[in-house]
Amino acid sequence: MIKDFRKKESKTFSELIFNISNAIIPYSKMILSLTASDIYSGEEKIPFHKRNPEYVSILRQEFAVIS
């Protein structure tokens, strides 16, 4: 028997297994955390002029002084 904490009653595993809302899935323990190679973490020391030209262009547009 497994305790259903929402209804405060005991149920069999087969009764609970079909209701997905009762499932607790520890995704953080199941999936290894990998860092994506295309995301800048901020830890690298990359000079501004050596960054991706698209990134440089976006930053210049965002911080341009409009007269």
Interacting residues of 35 by C-beta distance below 8 A, sequence separation 6+: 41
Band the pLDDT of 44: cuts 50, 70, 90.
confident
What's the average model confidence in pLDDT over 17-42? 70
How much is the pLDDT for 1? 56
Band the pLDDT of 19: cuts 50, 70, 90.
low
What does the pLDDT look like over 2-16, one tens digit per residue? Answer: 565 666 777 776 766
Which residue has 């409009």 as its token pair?
A: 66
Residue 28 has pLDDT above 60, yes or no: yes
